Amino acid sequence: MSSTNAEQIPANHSNPAVEVRQFCATEQLDLGATWLVACSGGCDSTALAYLLHEVLCEHGGTLHLAYLDHALRGTAAAEAERSAVEKISLSLGVGLHVEELQPGQLRSDAARRGIGLEAAARDVRYRFLYRTALRVGARYVATGHHADDQAETVLMRLMRGSGPRGLAGIPALRPVCDDSGALRYTVVRPVLGLPRASLRRFCVSSGLDWVEDRSNDAADYQRNAVRHSIMPTLYAFDRGISGLISRSAVKIGESQQALETLARRLVAWHVDNDELSTAAADFFTQPVALRRVALYQALELMRTRGIYRKTTSVPARFFEPLAAAELPWDASAATAMVLRGHGLQVWLDDNRVCIAADVVRYTKKGYLVACAVQAAGGVTSSVVVECGSSSVILRTSELLPPVLVRSRRPGDTIELQVGQKSLKKVFNEYELRHDCRSAVAVVEDTAGVAAVLVPDRTRANLFRIGVEPLDRPTAAVTRVEWKGDRFFEKFA
């Protein structure tokens, strides 16, 4: 199904084939390597698949397609998309890799993590591409982002008050590393400099069909509101506005790169286990703009080393109190916590600016404390959880990672010798006041609630069948202190 009259196509469009070749030459990409294209069956990814296939065939490269069904639309729409992608795969004679989400899975994940549906969809999509790229040995993962996408992204970030880092827009290349920091592949966007209309014209002139994503017409997504309400007004002033905004993004990106080069030279981060630090004097003598960049560089270093695993972006306003501050601490103070949130903690200690992953993470359903337990008997062999005067020691071999210590939630249950029991019923039996229940610590693993700690009432602690507390910790131990929701609220 194609739609050729949805928008007027200007006659002075760029030549997509020339643009793709020029992009690959400029970025010195290996056209003899294995490439994976994220394909939805829409116009943009359809054009990209055919354009890249032509170039790769000339240089002995290999192309694969990847399609993820987000299960957000009806069965008919999903079947049309998949059929379109299968048709492209057959036409080009290339491999196709497909995964399907369960209905409601994405919305549930977004609600659980307290993020928007678009952000959740992006995360699950890139995780799918990561798995697929490793499976096929892809050196590049190509997406169909174009100049109109770039313009919309820059406008959305401008409305959020972003700085140069955000206003640089969608990067043309983005390296993807594993937890050890090793490069696995590079995300590339060969048609980022082309307007949507050029890709549509290419499909029409080549006789290619595509499917329309009807969610693009919905006004409940911010990007679609920008696309259908703001961009048409800007196009009325200049038909080439998307290209102009994209060029501005490139210039801003170049300025950002210059700042990053200076920041790396002037602010050196020292890595000590899972903590980064730099001399406070070196940090605070730099201009505010360089401090901001240096803090984000520390964040990226933490990500490449697997210290910080969150994929969502950290807003600039989080770092701003430190980036814009004068020397804000009394040098005689041993430790002064400065910032905490977004899974990070930044503090000043012994004349150094320190940054590390924070164990505390806030969700709409309470607070979470992540334990450093990756596998039974792996990183640590026991976990000590402290809750008020109550303290328990759990053997990691009896837990199924990931392991969390969190707030209690409505509907929580635990499997006891007498059978499954709700925590609400337990607390009623204990006659525990409602204002005290927010201080209760719930230890949870993949199998569910493993233990419940009631502050200052050690005998009231509960343990799941098969989980027996130890009398003393083993040599390799993780300690987690739970201070209750009220303590963590100021850091959320």
Place of tokens 């594993």: 178
Greater confidence (293 vs 473) lies with 293
DSSP three-state, residue 361 = strand
In the prediction, which pLDDT does 6 show?
A: 35
| 177, β-bridge pairs | 183
Query: How many residues appear in the chain?
Result: 492
In the prediction, which pLDDT does 341 show?
A: 73
In the prediction, which pLDDT does 87 show?
A: 96
Mean pLDDT over the full length of the chain: 82
User: How does pLDDT run across 152-182, given as a tens digit for each residue?
Assistant: 999 999 998 888 989 999 999 999 887 667 8
Greater confidence (316 vs 83) lies with 83
pLDDT of 473 above 80: no
Q: 267-358: what CATH class?
A: alpha beta
Domains of the chain, residue spans: 16-255, 267-358, 366-491
Greater confidence (150 vs 378) lies with 150
Let me know: does 157 contact 223? Beta carbons within 8 Å. Answer: no
Starting at the edge strand found earlier in the chain, the sheet holding 270-272 runs 270-272, 275-279, 352-357, 344-349, 335-341
Strand pairing report for 462-463 and 419-422: unpaired
Let me know: does 45 contact 65? Beta carbons within 8 Å. Answer: no
In the prediction, which pLDDT does 190 show?
A: 97
d(CA 481, CA 385): 6
Most trustworthy range by pLDDT among 56-65, 238-247, 305-314: 56-65
Let me know: does 8 contact 236? Beta carbons within 8 Å. Answer: no
What is the residue-wise DSSP string for 135-200?
HHT-SEEE----HHHHHHHHHHHHHTT--HHHHT-S-SEEEEE-TTS-EEEEEE-TTTTS-HHHHH
CATH of domain 16-255: 3.40.50.620
Greater confidence (288 vs 429) lies with 288
| 385, β-bridge pairs | 392, 480
Residue 444 vs residues 85, 106, 278, 363: alpha-carbon distances, Å? 41, 22, 36, 15
Q: How confident is the model at residue 39 (pLDDT cuts 50, 70, 90)?
A: very high
